[in-house]
Structure 1
Amino acid sequence: MKQHLALNITCPKGLEGLLADECKALGAEVGRETVGAVSVSAPQEVTYRLCLWSRLANRVLLPLNDYPCHDADSLYAGMKAIDWSAHVAAGGTISVDFAGSNREIRNSHFGALRCKDAVVDAFQERGLDRPSVDKQRPDLRIHVRLRKGRAVVAIDFSGESLHRRGYRQAGAMAPLKENLAAALLLRADWPGIAARGGALIDPLCGSGTLLIEGAMMAMDIAPGLQRRYWGFSGWRQHRPDMWQRILEDAQRRQAVAMTRQWPEIRGYDAGGKILAQAQDNIDRAGLQSQVRVSRRELANLTRPTHREMNFGLVICNPPYGERLGDEAELVHLYRHLGQRLLAEFEGWQAAVFTGNPSLGKRMGLRSRRQYQFLNGTLPSKLLLFDVNADNAVKERTSAQGQPEAVAPKLSAGGEMFANRLRKNLKQLQKWRKREDVSCYRAYDADMPEYAVAVDVYGGAVHIAEYAAPSSVDEDKARQRLRDTVEACAQVFELPETKIAIKERRRQRGTEQYRRQSETGEFLEVEEGQAKLLVNLHDYLDTGLFLDHRPVRLDIAKRAAGQRFLNLFCYTGAATVHAGVGGARHSTSVDMSNTYLQWARRNLSLNGLSEVRHRTVRADCRQWLAECDEEFDLILLDPPTFSNSKRMEDVLDIQRDHVALIEGAMARLSAQGLLIFSNNRRDFQLDAAVTEGFCVEDRTSWSLDEDFKRRKKPIHYCWYITHR
């Protein structure tokens, strides 16, 4: 009777059931399933087959000892009690993979070191040559896990994780591990589809993992054939003759497979670099004749026509958006994927693996089944579809005759947010109509748990998320932001692709000027008589501070015949208002070339020439100190804090506002007006200003209806004149 080994086969969480079935198929007797592992009993020959043929396992472990471990001494004693000479030759090489901790053992490196010392001492005390450490390819790889007061010691027959097949270059981008890709293919019934002659297509193939795993699965190629190192190679009970027979059998099966015609396996991707990487992986796997990839946009996805393909599997792992701003933009991709499936692959099966199942709902197809997985640490789902018209989700049609994405049912939180948003819009309606306001703030953290600002720019919506406190769970914050987006889509009757989302964090130095994305898309809006350009995607801010609307409109009323100076001018919106209001000439000063270019575009949009409306790139404080011109109307709206490299010193508005105001007042005509504003929440105007000049607090007046809901003003504003 063959001696059986009691083994522990590990796998990614969620694959245990599939792994148990695979182990049975390879000849092992399956015992208990635990989280991320399956216990089996198998003769040595089957153990080798598990190592070579498992598509799902991470490691094949042979447990040696399981004992109480509360400190370094008990860890050492339990390790030393094992007869290591039965597993590795004297003078051989070892490596210890240690994980876990307790009150006494807090460092994995220390734990591994104590285990290594125990093994080495066990040999030395018997007068045998001590083993040395080889972290790359040791004769024996020892696997130690410390958990719940017990140490479990095992030999790792895998050598390294079995998901590393050997065809992927080190350091290459790998969004999917190979064994997870194999699990997805199994759940999608690819082996059954391939057996019936069906094709396999990945329209977003990336580095080609799904295609390569699918080909090896269909062709009966052992996934471990390209591996050059195994953890059992230096094991003293290793049977090289037995292993060689199993290896040669797998090689023979591969050679036979290469002579046969197999179903069409194709992949597409829009990126040239990633496609080159996929081709390299395919070549390394020796599958260049069986797997073909080519460059193609999803918009051009069609069923290949050079061979008759009546059925098959379309499978892909689309991007899911690390930020919700990305997610909203990806809605279109998922929707288009569903459209292409219905248009080109009627009667096929489809499988979409995503870390954001809500995006899967935008495909316009009802899934017939869903499976939960973990992609690394990210909870993900595999959505399975029967591609036919009966499973298509009907779209609504907008008033303009354009199809709209089907609106999902709002969560309880989303409904609550939508109700508050509708209430705000109703309260603002009369004011907006009376004042002809098309750009305004519809919501501003009115409910603490939904800490976002929702701004409307004509027919577009912009959501800025305030950074959540560290006490707020990241997943909950993300879900609430998703609730916000879906609620805005329904309330404003907009597709989510028309909603811009940004996560707002404190910026340092020039970070506020850096691009957040690269759309280059500007939207023209109107405010009073001015036309202004906003960008809802590329920068932290949009180019128009809505809370300063009353001040800008007042500048337009006062500007006729005046000499206007705009300090810290940003995108020049106030300068445009002064220009259309009839200013004699204007000067706009800022350090950001990006914003000054934006200001010039705004001026040009309104027919205002640079001859009369000049822009100056400079530090406002230095420029004021060197300026000898006089102005009748000055806007001074500095940032709260700035430490730009182009400045000689940092700017702190609380510390520096007196000097700034005095410098501006030195350039103000006798009957002129200085408008001073800033948005530091705890700002206090220094008494020196009120003692030296006539000061009128206009804060309350300067806040329109859309900003009066706040408990504290979003900015402060004073009108200052000479005594």
Structure 2
Amino acid sequence: MSDRFELFLTCPKGLEGLLIEEAVGLGLEEAREHTSAVRGMATMETAYRLCLWSRLANRVLLVLKRFPMKDAEDLYHGVLDIEWQDHMLNDGTLAVEFSGHGSGIDNTHFGALKVKDAIVDKLRTPQGDRPSIDKLNPDLRIHLRLDRGEAILSLDLSGHSLHQRGYRLQQGAAPLKENLAAAILIRSGWPRIAAEGGALADPMCGVGTFLVEAAMIAADMAPNLRREQWGFTAWLGHVPALWKKLHEEATERCAAGLAKPPLWIRGYEADPRLIQPGRNNVERAGLSEWIKIYQGEVGTFEPRPDQNQKGLVICNPPYGERLGDEASLLYLYQNLGERLRQACLNWEAAVFTGAPELGKRMGIRSHKQYSFWNGALPCKLLLIKVTPDQFVTGERRTPEQRQVEREQAQVEVAADDVAPGKYEKYNKNGNPIKPAPVVVEQPRLSEGGQMFANRLQKNLKALGKWVKREGIDCYRVYDADMPEYSMAIDLYQDWVHVQEYAAPKSIDPEKASARMFDALAAIPQALNIDKSRVVVKRRERQSGTKQYERQAAQGKFVEVNEGGVKLLVNLTDYLDTGLFLDHRPMRMRIQKEAAGKRFLNLYCYTATASVHAAKGGARSTTSVDLSKTYLDWARRNLSLNGFSDKNRLEQGDVMAWLDACRDEYDLIFIDPPTFSNSKRMEGIFDVQRDQVQLIDLAMARLAPGGVLYFSNNFRKFSLEENLTERYAVEEITAQTIDPDFARNGKIHRAWKITAR
């Protein structure tokens, strides 16, 4: 065989430029970039060195032959022409991977089959011995790449992908591949920072991939030093003595690197379930002396071991996959930005994100950005110098002011960050003087965000006197007042519940997303609410019982007050919270009118109206709903206020229940859904179609002199005329709209119905 070989090094898309620098540094000659690959010439020693030391490649492919190919027969004979007895035993194992199409090969499985047939036919003995297929751990893994009529046949020296270092047996939900993590570290300048003795912190470390890859770079550890199985292990062209020499050299370098004083490398992870898997990965990599992992939120991570230490903060924040993730992700990025500004002055930072728009919300400018791909997801690496002149704050400063801040930043550190014995100034008694903490300003809102904040504050002020006079602690403060910010915002004491209305298809999704982030950034500042107490949901056109479907499973209830009663709301688990705020006036009306009366609440939901009726002195309450979940919630609401006797909860389809009922009631409230097709009821309920039957059934249960209140929120609802002919009907919608819903007079309609 030749002393020099053609090699193909494959890599994730976007890493080609870094890989060619690395490969040339390891001895690859005549190197050229291709899509997701680098090509060049090398000796066997360089090929082994690339397998052992490449932090970026997926595979090292040794080209056996190139040949033109017009059809499947050309493919078969081209492969058959290789002297396969020089590469594997007759009874060895084989795996074939095929990529590309054309030349009559439109199916990669068929192409791989033709390659396999040629190799097997070449090696088949008269006794019938022949290679067999082993897709997991073959003696030889063969690649054939078809590129514009040319077949490139290669031997995979790496075996399994080189990103599989062997230390990460436990991983989180969406981990970065090890070679992508290494590429991000290299782009972030970590090799330089490590050579200068710098530190590294990952405030969202997951199972520690960045930490391990960083420590291996700093300790001069070959990334694949611990790998035992290689693609060349059973290859007949393998040179064991040469491999042994290179492996021993790498082992000596690793031992010398680990003997140095370890750098300060720390990871912090909020999810307690990932702490032990991360520590296990670190231990398997042999780096427990270099890396420590702690449990902690982004806002609490402590990257500064002492006031003189500098280094790199690196992280891969989550991207968000569920509706409603916008708020938590925005505030996560904001918290990260705040922590960088507070505790990491003069450090460098690298944020790898699939949501660059969120990266802009950290309150620090990036001085450089790189494009990467994480699988099929396009991502950005944002490089940041954590210096005051890069901070985006609410105050505009002159260049002279920025220069003063830069000079102060050289000596100012937060008081809690100063280690004992490290103070630079002492008073006349010899006691150390702590430097003043660095003041970190709120990030400046965008122009749209500031406009939105102004509107929230205006609404808050306008409602202030009414809220205080009425003793209300749950109310709507914004309801799509500005068309471009299409959402409803409700205050529940010190919680904010945001319902984002789905943008019309005519609106650019990126613009809609940017406006949403503007609004979410403004809400905590404008309402003076902690960011952790903002809950976001997306409200789309609903059908059936979809609005009642569970969104999450936190099971966290908040107790609120309304008209002298206590009610439980759940802000996270369902699209609605358990309390329809727009019905507050109706509930208060029922409370005032309920004394001594038998009250019936149909489609009762969480029975808040029943609690008000009981508070008003109702003789009894009966609440009917199809959902056991909401009836359990109703039971808790009643119990919370000390109401248990004379308060019935009935599970069932309201129409069927009314049809079977023979009791009389003095006060009835009906707030039906627009549409329902629950499996637990017969047929389908449509409020427009079925209103007459529903009201007739309810009126049949109304005692002489009684009152029925009927309400619904179907925007196109029209009350049937024949109802007004048979009953005394008065529309009272205007009387059931409080000031917080005055901007949306169509939130619901309501009628008072009595017998003629």
TM-score bin, normalised by smaller chain: 0.7 to 0.9
Q: Which residue of 2 aligns with 1:666?
A: 700
Q: Which residue of 1 aligns with 2:446?
A: 409
Task: Please state how far the C-alpha of 1:295 moved relative to its aligned partner.
Answer: 3.8
Q: Which residue of 1 aligns with 2:433?
A: none
Give yes or no for contact 2:170–2:278 (8 Å, CA) kept in 1: no
Q: Which residue of 2 aligns with 1:399?
A: none
From the superposition, tell whether residues 174 and 457 of structure 1 become closer, same or farther in structure 2 (CA, over 3 Å). Answer: closer
From the superposition, tell whether residues 498 and 46 of structure 1 become closer, same or farther in structure 2 (CA, over 3 Å). Answer: same
Letter in 2 for 1:589: V
Q: Distance in 2 between matches of 1:68 and 1:608?
A: 85
Give yes or no for contact 2:310–2:346 (8 Å, CA) kept in 1: yes
Give yes or no for contact 1:565–1:587 (8 Å, CA) kept in 2: yes
Letter in 2 for 1:25: G
Give identity over the alignment, percent. Answer: 45
From the superposition, tell whether residues 285 and 563 of structure 1 become closer, same or farther in structure 2 (CA, over 3 Å). Answer: same
Give yes or no for contact 1:174–1:207 (8 Å, CA) kept in 2: no
Q: Distance in 1 between matches of 2:393 and 2:559?
A: 31
Q: Distance in 2 between matches of 1:388 and 1:610?
A: 62
Letter in 2 for 1:192: R
Q: Which residue of 2 aligns with 1:18?
A: 18
Q: Distance in 2 between matches of 1:132 and 1:697?
A: 83
Helix, strand or coil at the partner of 1:370? strand
Letter in 2 for 1:407: R
Give yes or no for contact 2:79–2:118 (8 Å, CA) kept in 1: no
Q: Distance in 1 between matches of 2:323 and 2:211?
A: 29
Helix, strand or coil at the partner of 1:113? helix
Task: Please state how far the C-alpha of 1:219 moved relative to its aligned partner.
Answer: 1.4
**Are residues 1:163 and 2:143 paired?**
no
From the superposition, tell whether residues 524 and 144 of structure 1 become closer, same or farther in structure 2 (CA, over 3 Å). Answer: farther
Q: Distance in 2 between matches of 1:719 and 1:705?
A: 21
Q: Which residue of 2 aligns with 1:522?
A: 558
Within a 5 Å distance, the mapping from 1:603-614 to structure 2 comes to 609-611=643-645, 613-614=647-648
Q: Distance in 2 between matches of 1:430 and 1:405?
A: 25
Q: Distance in 1 between matches of 2:32 and 2:320?
A: 37
- Residues 421-476 of structure 1 show CA distances to partners (whole Å, capped at 9, x for unaligned) of 789969x98998999797337335985x8764445657764332345689988766
Task: Please state how far the C-alpha of 1:338 moved relative to its aligned partner.
Answer: 4.4
Give yes or no for contact 1:75–1:115 (8 Å, CA) kept in 2: no
Q: Distance in 1 between matches of 2:374 and 2:124?
A: 48
Give yes or no for contact 1:592–1:617 (8 Å, CA) kept in 2: yes
Q: Distance in 1 between matches of 2:592 and 2:101?
A: 71
- Residues 227-252 of structure 1 show CA distances to partners (whole Å, capped at 9, x for unaligned) of 23323344454433333332232233
Match of 1:482 among 501, 504, 517: 517
Give yes or no for contact 1:320–1:327 (8 Å, CA) kept in 2: no
Gaps of 5+ in 2: 396-438
Q: Which residue of 2 aligns with 1:81?
A: 78
Letter in 2 for 1:573: T
Q: Which residue of 2 aligns with 1:652?
A: 685
- Residues 638-676 of structure 1 show CA distances to partners (whole Å, capped at 9, x for unaligned) of 33455657x354653357655544442332113323333
Q: Which residue of 2 aligns with 1:537?
A: 572
Give yes or no for contact 1:410–1:486 (8 Å, CA) kept in 2: no
Task: Please state how far the C-alpha of 1:359 moved relative to its aligned partner.
Answer: 4.3
Q: Distance in 2 between matches of 1:707 and 1:343?
A: 41
Give yes or no for contact 1:676–1:717 (8 Å, CA) kept in 2: yes
Letter in 1 for 2:166: G
Q: Which residue of 2 aligns with 1:571?
A: 606
Task: Please state how far the C-alpha of 1:195 moved relative to its aligned partner.
Answer: 2.0
Q: Distance in 1 between matches of 2:686 and 2:532?
A: 38
Q: Which residue of 1 aligns with 2:247?
A: 247
From the superposition, tell whether residues 709 and 203 of structure 1 become closer, same or farther in structure 2 (CA, over 3 Å). Answer: closer
Letter in 1 for 2:376: T
CA RMSD of aligned residues (A): 4.7
Task: Please state how far the C-alpha of 1:636 moved relative to its aligned partner.
Answer: 1.9
Give yes or no for contact 1:522–1:535 (8 Å, CA) kept in 2: yes
From the superposition, tell whether residues 324 and 371 of structure 1 become closer, same or farther in structure 2 (CA, over 3 Å). Answer: farther
Give yes or no for contact 2:203–2:315 (8 Å, CA) kept in 1: yes
Letter in 1 for 2:572: H
Letter in 1 for 2:622: T
Letter in 1 for 2:379: S
Give yes or no for contact 1:439–1:525 (8 Å, CA) kept in 2: no
Q: Which residue of 2 aligns with 1:588?
A: 623
- Residues 16-56 of structure 1 show CA distances to partners (whole Å, capped at 9, x for unaligned) of 22212111110112533344332322222212211211101
Q: Distance in 2 between matches of 1:661 and 1:650?
A: 18
Match of 1:633 among 664, 667, 684: 667
Task: Please state how far the C-alpha of 1:67 moved relative to its aligned partner.
Answer: 5.8
Give yes or no for contact 2:606–2:634 (8 Å, CA) kept in 1: yes
Match of 2:108 among 108, 111, 130: 111
Q: Distance in 2 between matches of 1:79 and 1:589?
A: 75
Task: Please state how far the C-alpha of 1:120 moved relative to its aligned partner.
Answer: 0.6
Give yes or no for contact 1:95–1:142 (8 Å, CA) kept in 2: yes
Helix, strand or coil at the partner of 1:85? coil
Helix, strand or coil at the partner of 2:289? coil
Helix, strand or coil at the partner of 2:79? coil
Within a 5 Å distance, the mapping from 1:494-505 to structure 2 comes to 497-504=532-539
Q: Which residue of 2 aligns with 1:182?
A: 182
Q: Which residue of 1 aligns with 2:211?
A: 211
Q: Distance in 1 between matches of 2:658 and 2:103?
A: 63
Task: Please state how far the C-alpha of 1:163 moved relative to its aligned partner.
Answer: 0.9
Within a 5 Å distance, the mapping from 1:186-201 to structure 2 comes to 186-201=186-201
Helix, strand or coil at the partner of 2:186? helix
- Residues 457-496 of structure 1 show CA distances to partners (whole Å, capped at 9, x for unaligned) of 5776433234568998876664454355346567767675
**Are residues 1:290 and 2:290 paired?**
yes
Q: Distance in 1 between matches of 2:525 and 2:673?
A: 35
Q: Distance in 1 between matches of 2:612 and 2:111?
A: 74
**Are residues 1:439 and 2:475 paired?**
yes
From the superposition, tell whether residues 466 and 392 of structure 1 become closer, same or farther in structure 2 (CA, over 3 Å). Answer: closer
Give yes or no for contact 1:404–1:495 (8 Å, CA) kept in 2: no
Q: Which residue of 1 aligns with 2:435?
A: none
**Are residues 1:97 and 2:90 paired?**
no
Letter in 1 for 2:14: G
Q: TM-score, normalised by structure 2?
A: 0.77
Q: Distance in 2 between matches of 1:146 and 1:473?
A: 40
**Are residues 1:351 and 2:350 paired?**
yes
Q: Distance in 2 between matches of 1:308 and 1:481?
A: 38
Helix, strand or coil at the partner of 2:324? helix
From the superposition, tell whether residues 28 and 710 of structure 1 become closer, same or farther in structure 2 (CA, over 3 Å). Answer: same
Q: Distance in 2 between matches of 1:242 and 1:708?
A: 83
**Are residues 1:312 and 2:314 paired?**
no
Q: Distance in 2 between matches of 1:301 and 1:433?
A: 39
Letter in 2 for 1:522: V
From the superposition, tell whether residues 300 and 483 of structure 1 become closer, same or farther in structure 2 (CA, over 3 Å). Answer: closer
Give yes or no for contact 1:568–1:589 (8 Å, CA) kept in 2: yes
Q: Distance in 1 between matches of 2:456 and 2:268?
A: 44
- Residues 507-538 of structure 1 show CA distances to partners (whole Å, capped at 9, x for unaligned) of 87688253525272526365x77775544333
Q: Which residue of 2 aligns with 1:380?
A: 379
Q: Which residue of 2 aligns with 1:27?
A: 27
- Residues 338-382 of structure 1 show CA distances to partners (whole Å, capped at 9, x for unaligned) of 454455544443333333345445545444443333333333333
Task: Please state how far the C-alpha of 1:168 moved relative to its aligned partner.
Answer: 1.2
Give yes or no for contact 1:462–1:501 (8 Å, CA) kept in 2: yes
From the superposition, tell whether residues 542 and 560 of structure 1 become closer, same or farther in structure 2 (CA, over 3 Å). Answer: same
Give yes or no for contact 1:85–1:123 (8 Å, CA) kept in 2: no
Task: Please state how far the C-alpha of 1:224 moved relative to its aligned partner.
Answer: 1.2
Q: Distance in 2 between matches of 1:523 and 1:674?
A: 29
Q: Name the stretch that deviates more: 541-550 or 124-133.
A: 124-133
Give yes or no for contact 1:320–1:354 (8 Å, CA) kept in 2: yes
Helix, strand or coil at the partner of 1:81? helix
Helix, strand or coil at the partner of 1:78? helix
